[in-house]
Structure 1
């Protein structure tokens, strides 16, 4: 077929798709219902069939295992018969007399008579050296040879039986000593493993038994088999592996049972059970199930068709009414309004929708241009009004201003008094603002706690006067529900056309001035182009940061941690500093936030791990067991982070146990599932995990119990306030108790003085970090500090005095 010619299945699929699209809902419901029913029935049919096959084979396999025991029991019974017969002959006086007189003819006759009496096929007398003296026939070299090989073992293990091949026949042999009273010879008897035996095996177990001879240097051959006349046992000799085997027209499960083994080969029994015969009993049940399925499809199809037509009839009527409503005709009557079922509910809902459609359209228009809480115009309305005013104004003669304000500490109001109270505060502010401007001016709420004033025909003087009225207005406290709120706001002013010629530019520059006012907290601020220039400089600084790693401008700083119980240095936190060639030492707050926003924080994290890994051996000599490195949200979202860290550690021959990875609570909560997966990988590789700034984020016992963390780091805001605030002290004590109960160690950061250190020691905090010990130091200075630091004895820490001279900075 030409490779470019379409596949034959594509036209068929296209026809089916067109048929499905053109069919009505009734046909689809019927087809889907029948398809689901048929799928369920087919799944059940397949499961039942597989269950039958598995159970049948399992049961047959158990029967074959039991058959092997039955076979051994038959051999044991025949062995007992042989032993009894041989023992009787050995105890016969006349036979002993013939042995003593070496009368071979008498011996042969006695052996033949006795074997016939017990049903044995072979009998022989052996001397004390196990040499054949006489057999039941004049000469039987095959029996003599078989006895020569088997007699030594049988003589050693009296009472046992052994199977040997005698002239191609499998023979079960026993050997009984003859004493008068000393040993004068041995009597040997043999039973054949013949058709009678395998028939008995079949009668007892229901399995077909076949005895095979497997010579070492020749093909296996069938000795005797109980298989029916129409089934050839030859495949049993050709395929010696256990499992399923085709014999005749049926499948048989075959297992091999060892019977005898010697230097020339072995004799085995192959037990076979018919799989088809076992499964045949269940075929009638499957046929009955198929017939029930067919009848169910017919009945289910008829019922589905009737129900689908009954359900879709009202829907067709509603569709006609909907088409009329789309054309603007709302007079088409609806049926089924009085019904009490789902169709009636749908009809009444449609009728109600038809009546309220105009009201909803008006509400949508209001939502688009009006703030729902304060009923002031929103940002879109302000932008539209500003664009219209600019379009009507003359840049050479007219003026206008935008005054934007953002309430201070409004988030604290929401956190302390609740969002409902905060909404009432916003409404009160919205009621005050219109009284501060002219009727021609516009007051709008931009969102959150931001408001804006559009002052038409206003220059700088008028805008400053309005800003002054705003300041005076906010000097008056707001009282709601006996709660007095002191309000203040950051106010920014942008003028048209001085600062911008378009509406978006004017709004943006007013916002820039507002945020500058909030930072300076010094009243209203007029837009200053230098503010935007500073932002551009920050972006330039970020671009230079990307090259700082290659230029070796970053520096590793370490802030030590001490064991509070002993005063011994136990660890350090790794911090990054940027030694800029022109700007000098750049503080982290000027580049870390932007690095987190752009994702470059990942490179900074790997850089710090690289530096700490390279210094791990040197830090160990300073008693630093573990270096802490902060992980950001973007680090936790990187599924390849564990492999990257392992590669760094392998390169520097460092150990994961020498690192503590600190994670903030907010970083975990950004994507808990991915963060937990990354943390589990890191913990499994030996890294210690710590929750940083505990208490300032989404503190939750749930994630503490689930995540593989082993350390909590209390935020310094609580530690530094322990001396002045009982609440902070309670938080620190509760956090320490909680962590210890969860099996976690506790690190307190912000240890600024000796008094805080004493309090932490009394609360049994594990480790401390802060300026009382040392500020962050470069690596070389850190080593010098560690050498000067003297270990404080535990009893001094536990006492009332803590000599500051014992801690040299």
Structure 2
């Protein structure tokens, strides 16, 4: 950590210094270029000032000639030799290379004796003389035979202009050298053909000036020269003037500054590295000790105190704060674990711990390499617990949950299964090495445990529960799916009041087998795939068929005849059962004339679901249907299970009263298996009780079932109700029901559910046999 701290600090400092160096470098470049431009401009002015000074000197010499008495006298007499001699003498004094005399019309009269009057020079001299005489130019510089000449011209007046004295001086190297000495700026004069005419650059390197380009710097003998071209002047003809300044000379002072800055940076880095290392050691050593202690805390070891820090600074304060945190965490850890994994009310494992226990059991079973040992979850949910809370209060409800937990723990010892409270009034038991079928006796043990009422605060509470079972790996491949499917089975058990239910994919509206079932059911209604089946009911007093139970079957185009248990529970879960109920009424009402075509009355029983009873518009829908088919309401018997009534007794009672007022006969289906209540039985407009087949089928061999059937028949008759017994499987049971004065009976002994045409034929055959 200390090394990283030092390295980070050095890198940060380097970045800062690099940024500073970059800014300085950029500033130097900008300043150097600005200075170069300024010096080049000054050098350019110096050059032309030197030319102007030279012009004045030359004009003074020419003026002496023009004012000389002898020269003027020779002009007056026309003595050409004297004029030439005078001009030659004075030209030699002022170092003029070319001398000439022109008349006022710029016609050449004579030249100095040293000039051979070459024909090719005369037009140039005449043009120069004409330009100097007719313009304001004080001089002219001309390129003649590869040499540069500066010309000046003065008038000869007496008092009018009687002629012109022209003198030309060759530009010399001394002038260029003087220019460089005065300004430190080189001068270079190049012809249009890039011939070097005059320059202050060393003659050894002068030839390199041919590559001169004002747009780029020029490299000569390892030295960089910045180039600038002088502005064009009317006095100059046939060449270009350039000023050049050494970039290296201008940059040299700044390089010293850069070197000093680099030296300061190097020294600063060294000092900073030493200081950072010392600081890092002071900080990181105690922090490393704290990190070791923190790692110890991360492993859950809160028993050892942190090392004491002598520093009276932030690190020491941090160490002391860490130690206080350790003691606080140590004190709270147990409470946190309790909150995270245990139910505070009952002391049982909560959902989180229960899930972890199942997961560990599944992993242990999977890791063995051999056959997987099943893991089963038994989930139960208390019935009517909300009603207990509403009537007796939440405090009593909490006491009741504690009592339930104690009873479960008593009946399910740890070696048999692990009991947990998942939340609310929901409990669960994990059973290892047993599948759902093998664990069913444990579920029965739990159900038996709830048969004895609970006594709390002078209150006696009868409890029951819906119990669902699911197993790994038979029903689920992971812990979450296992819990979900056990819960599905539990809720199916509560709805069907079966007490105990093992998970089956047909019960699961979210399983892969039933994903498309709702759509297919809709199509079944629309496409006429549903079939109406009827199971006859015998009047035991005269053995006639006076009623029948209507049942639905699904003739699937691909699956064939789908059993009711594969789609009825799903329809109840999704609410589609209401459409199935209306379809049943529609079919029966439509076929009622065929069923009564023989002149004998027939009553058809149709099952109602909980959703039908809770639909406030259901009676009105039946009214419209009866009116549509002109069907009498007394031809229908509506069978309702006790559990459907108990889900919402008030709404169910209101719906049943409205149906009874319309003339429908009402029957309590599966009587004796649900929440039988004489109070509700007395208040509801019920006409019939239907004894559950589990009692009827067992009455032949079980005296207890026989007593239940006898008692139910007596109870119904005493209340003025008729009785139907379902599940008649043989003649002995039928004879027993006749003996007990049961009103009606149905079962496979008489006939299983059959299609409507078959039912009509069966009924006719039965009546014929009775008549015979």
Q: TM-score, normalised by structure 2?
A: 0.44
For the pair shown, the structure with the greater C-alpha radius of gyration is 2
Q: TM-score, normalised by structure 1?
A: 0.43
